[in-house]
Amino acid sequence: MSPRALKSLEPASTDPAKIRNFCIIAHIDHGKSTLADRMLGITGVVSDRDMRAQYLDRMDIERERGITIKSQAVRMPWALNGDTFALNMIDTPGHVDFTYEVSRSLAACEGAILLVDAAQGIEAQTLANLYLALDNDLTIIPVLNKIDLPAADPDKYAKELASLIGGTPDDVLRVSGKTGMGVTELLDRVVELIPAPQGDPNGPARAMIFDSVYDTYRGVVTYVRMIDGKLSPRERIQMMSTKAVHELLEIGVSSPEPTPTKGLGVGEVGYLITGVKDVRQSKVGDTVTNAAKPSTDALPGYTDPKPMVFSGLYPIDGSDYPILREALDKLKLSDASLNYEPETSVALGFGFRCGFLGLLHLEIVTERLEREFGLDLIATAPSVPYEVTTEDKKHFTVTNPSEFPTGTKIASVSEPMVKAAILAPKDYVGTIMELCQSKRGSLLGMEYLGEDRVEIRYAMPLGEIVFDFFDQLKSKTAGYASLDYEPSGEQDADLVKVDILLQGEAVDAFSAIVHRDKAYAYGLLMTERLKKLIPRQQFEVPIQAAIGARIIARESISAMRKDVLAKCYGGDITRKRKLLEKQKEGKKRMKMVGRVEVPQEAFIAALSGDVEGKDPKKK
């Protein structure tokens, strides 16, 4: 199909009335990026020849995992009834860890396409993202996707959607991002329904930074939404929070390749390049203004996302530590939500305690570090931040279990809580409630969505979710349940630190903060794992789990009796020596815990739980 708009509107001089800013929001995998592909094609900004699936998922890691991690904004021309419009579309991620990314995108838009898989129906992130969009006063266009699927049941889900956001089932559009069916109508609907941006075209320039990305070739690329006024190339701009002034080296729009323009006018979405090398100098949420004619009122920014999950990252080869530091500094440039500070571990050496938005974020950062910087890393078991108060009224925030205060009497420990929403077919309610109960959840409420789907809401400790809740939820519901959660305060709980000791020495990487009722189970799990993983030594090695001085579980590795090759060698001494060299090489990869030699791999396996034959790739 040939593009409908024969000429596109010139950025910098587009009448705001002809601009439509919207994002596509949905539960993970409901087809946002695929729908975006069709829009890129139908509007002609990407030719058939250049098209590839999930065009906007540009990072290797996005392409391999088939998920979106970063939002992407694209300007596309569209014509309706003889009028030409400029559409700014933002494809957003669907995973709960990246809710922060979605909320920033929403702030750059007047409307949102709420996409729902017509074979799956409403899921947990559908609700979470809808809530965010309504909270930002966006106009919602409900759309059912994947109607080409034989299993699609658009009538049923149109009803569900209509009852959720009001209106009638007929208001719910039906499209297929795969075949392109209904997408033209959807673009028309966007023009008709989504309000044009408002703003003072002649006021002092105010642009809201909604993303800031480090690019090796271009330095920091800052994505903005113009709220008032106008910005032009070569102008001197000012960051309102820091008052730092930069020269605008390039200004443009993504369509979807970066295209320099004569500027950005009110209501437009585009990018700025100033030559700064650190995203912190061009902070998400900050307001950009003209240095010569500055605005006095900064736009309300975003609250920085609080890291929810902490883990220690250590290079397997200790000499890679400086590379890891540099790599984290570089990643931080494009991922402002990443936090880290140096820490040391007896078992693992020098590394960093890093804060993440969630488990997927942790996994992705680790993978990017390994892939983009050639590092081999161990990540310690994820932990959440605990607030500990000792009897002498001192407060600590503990993000690393081994720093849990010992010696002093602990008055209270509080843990972060979340409100979790689980959506699942009603047959699984019993199973899910049982699971949540076992994870110390307390029921907040339950609601039917349509006839056979239920939303179950629980207050739950984040630490339990981080442990293995999602894996268990998926496996107990044959993959049907979806989960969303958001922070909701803290609660005091009977939490203890369980240490794992090898020959009486605590291995800091294995210490964990768990509820007292679960301490024994954790102790048993870890001692059994380590017994399987640690090779026999020349002496017996006791493995114990302890709370303070009290041993709660024990195992032991019997002494190795034979470590010799008693074979007929003939004169091949070289081979014998090579073998010795190999053994010595192997020993270099051992970490010493007291007198016990623990292979690096044992740490990794014990931390990742590989021992029980679990596939670490499945998440």
Partner 1 sequence: MRATRSPRNPALAGWSRENESTMPSALPRADPAPADGLLPSSVTRGWAERDFGVYVHVPFCRVRCGYCDFNTYTADEVRGVKQSDYAGQAVAEIQRAVEILDATGAPRRPVSTVFFGGGTPTLLPVTQLAQLLGSIRDAWGLASDAEITTEANPDSVTAESLAQLAAAGFTRVSFGMQSAVPHVLATLERTHDPERVPLVVEWARAAGLQVSLDLIYGTPGESLDDWRSSLELALEQHPDHVSAYALIVESGTKLARQIARGEIASPDDDVQAEMYELADTVLAERGFSWYELSNWARDAGTRSRHNLSYWTGQDWWGVGPGAHSHVGGVRWWNVKHPAAYAERIAAGVSPAAGRETLDEETRRTETVLLTSRVADGLSISELDLPGRGAIAGLIADGLIDGGAAIRGRVVLTLRGRLLADAVVRRLLGS
Ligand X SMILES: Nc1nc2c(ncn2[C@@H]2O[C@H](COP(=O)(O)OP(=O)(O)OP(=O)(O)O)[C@@H](O)[C@H]2O)c(=O)[nH]1
Ligand Y SMILES: C[S@@+](CC[C@H](N)C(=O)[O-])C[C@H]1O[C@@H](n2cnc3c(N)ncnc32)[C@H](O)[C@@H]1O
Interface pick for partner 1 out of 63, 577, 589, 619 (rule CB under 8 A): 577
- Structure token pair of residue 251: 């200004």
Interface pick for partner 1 out of 64, 539, 592, 608 (rule CB under 8 A): 539
CB-closest chain residue to ligand Y = 568
Under a CB-based contact definition with an 8 Å cutoff, are residues 348 and 312 in contact? yes
We find the least distance from the C-beta atom of residue 590 to partner 1, in angstroms, to be: 10
> Which residues, 6 or more positions from 524, have their beta carbon under 8 angstroms from its beta carbon?
545, 553
Does residue 201 have a cis bond before it (omega within 30 degrees)?
A: no
Number of residues that bind partner 1 (CB under 8 A): 26
Of the two residues 561 and 588, which places its CB atom closer to ligand Y in the complex? 561
Binding of partner 1 by 560 (CB under 8 A): yes
Binding of Mg ion by 104 (CB under 5 A): no
Here's the x/- map for partner 1, 320-359, by CB under 8 A: it reads as ----------------------------------------
Cα torsion 54, 55, 61, 64: sign: positive
Interface pick for partner 1 out of 198, 442, 538, 556 (rule CB under 8 A): 538
> Which residues, 6 or more positions from 477, have their beta carbon under 8 angstroms from its beta carbon?
424, 425, 428, 431, 432
Integer Cα distance of 106 and 143 in angstroms: 17
Phi, psi of 414, deg, nearest 5: -120, 150
With CB cut-offs between 5 and 8 Å by kind, which of Mg ion, ligand X, ligand Y, none does residue 568 bind?
Answer: ligand Y
Interface pick for Mg ion out of 32, 225, 353, 529 (rule CB under 5 A): 32
We find the least distance from the C-beta atom of residue 567 to ligand Y, in angstroms, to be: 5
- Contact set for ligand Y, span 556-595 (CB under 6 A): 567-568
Integer Cα distance of 174 and 180 in angstroms: 11
We find the least distance from the C-beta atom of residue 555 to partner 1, in angstroms, to be: 18
CB-based burial, 139-164: b 16+ in 10 Å, e otherwise: bbbbbbbbbeeeebbbebbbbbbbeb
Binding of Mg ion by 72 (CB under 5 A): no
Q: Which residues bind ligand X (CB under 6 A)?
A: 26, 28-34, 54, 66-68, 93-94, 145-146, 148-149, 176-178
Question: Collapsing DSSP states into helix, strand and coil, what is residue 468?
Answer: helix
Of the two residues 151 and 566, which places its CB atom closer to partner 1 in the complex? 566
With CB cut-offs between 5 and 8 Å by kind, which of Mg ion, ligand X, partner 1, none does residue 560 bind?
Answer: partner 1
For the chain, what is the largest distance between any 2 Cα atoms, rounded to a whole number of angstroms?
Answer: 93
Interface pick for partner 1 out of 82, 151, 319, 568 (rule CB under 8 A): 568
The DSSP secondary-structure symbol of 558 reads P
Integer Cα distance of 144 and 117 in angstroms: 6
Number of residues that bind ligand Y (CB under 6 A): 2
We find the least distance from the C-beta atom of residue 91 to Mg ion, in angstroms, to be: 6
Under a CB-based contact definition with an 8 Å cutoff, are residues 356 and 308 in contact? yes
Of the two residues 19 and 89, which places its CB atom closer to Mg ion in the complex? 89
Task: Determine the interface stretch with partner 1 among 195-203, 404-412, 490-498, 555-563 (rule: CB under 8 A).
Answer: 555-563
Under a CB-based contact definition with an 8 Å cutoff, are residues 251 and 227 in contact? no
With CB cut-offs between 5 and 8 Å by kind, which of ligand Y, partner 1, Mg ion, none does residue 589 bind?
Answer: none
Under a CB-based contact definition with an 8 Å cutoff, are residues 301 and 206 in contact? no
Contacts 24+ apart (CB under 8 A), 404-408: 404/497, 404/511, 404/513, 406/497, 406/548
We find the least distance from the C-beta atom of residue 575 to partner 1, in angstroms, to be: 6
We find the least distance from the C-beta atom of residue 570 to ligand Y, in angstroms, to be: 7
Residues making contact with Mg ion (CB under 5 A): 32-33, 68
Residues making contact with ligand Y (CB under 6 A): 567-568
Residues making contact with partner 1 (CB under 8 A): 538-539, 560-578, 580, 583-584, 587-588
